Amino acid sequence: MSKKLRNRLMMCFAVGFLASAVLLMNQAPAQAKPFRMGVLPDKGAKFGCGTCHVNPSGGGPRNSFGQDYEKVGIKAGDKYTQDMGAMDSDKDDATNDQEFKAGTHPGDPASKPAS
């Protein structure tokens, strides 16, 4: 192999390695905690990570229910408490407990139990 070809291959390898390293370092870590779904009344069956997060895949900003869980549930030792159940996180006139029982989304005001 000629010296020129070898140098060119080494340069391509170095550029590819650096580009890959930069991409990997800029990845945002996932913030969703799948174990938390197990403490919810429906065990996350209906909405998964989207029960608490704006993005249904989890991570990133939390919806209104996720924000309330952060304030109340996490402080209570990562538990869905009676206080959480009595709250109306999405302000749709249905408590979180009523939403879980009806299979509607406790963090989405457009999703509420039928009257």
Give residue 27's pLDDT: 53
Instruction: In whole angstroms, give the CA distance from residue 85 to residue 70.
Output: 14
Please state, in angstroms and as integers, the Cα–Cα distance from residue 41 to each residue in 45, 65, 68, 106, following that order. Answer: 9, 13, 15, 11
- Distance, C-alpha 39 to centroid of its chain: 15
The pTM of the whole model exceeds 0.95: no
Mean pLDDT of 37-65: 93
pLDDT digits (tens, 9 = 90+) for 6-50: 888 888 777 777 777 676 665 544 445 777 888 999 999 999 999
User: Which residues 6+ apart lie within 8 Å of 40 measured at CB?
Assistant: 51, 80, 100
Cα–Cα distance, 91 to 111 (Å, whole number): 11
C-alpha 102/C-alpha 41 separation (Å) is 11
Only one residue has tokens 């403490």, namely: 39
pLDDT digits (tens, 9 = 90+) for 68-113: 999 999 898 899 999 999 999 999 999 999 999 999 999 999 999 9
Domain residue spans of the chain = 1-30, 34-102
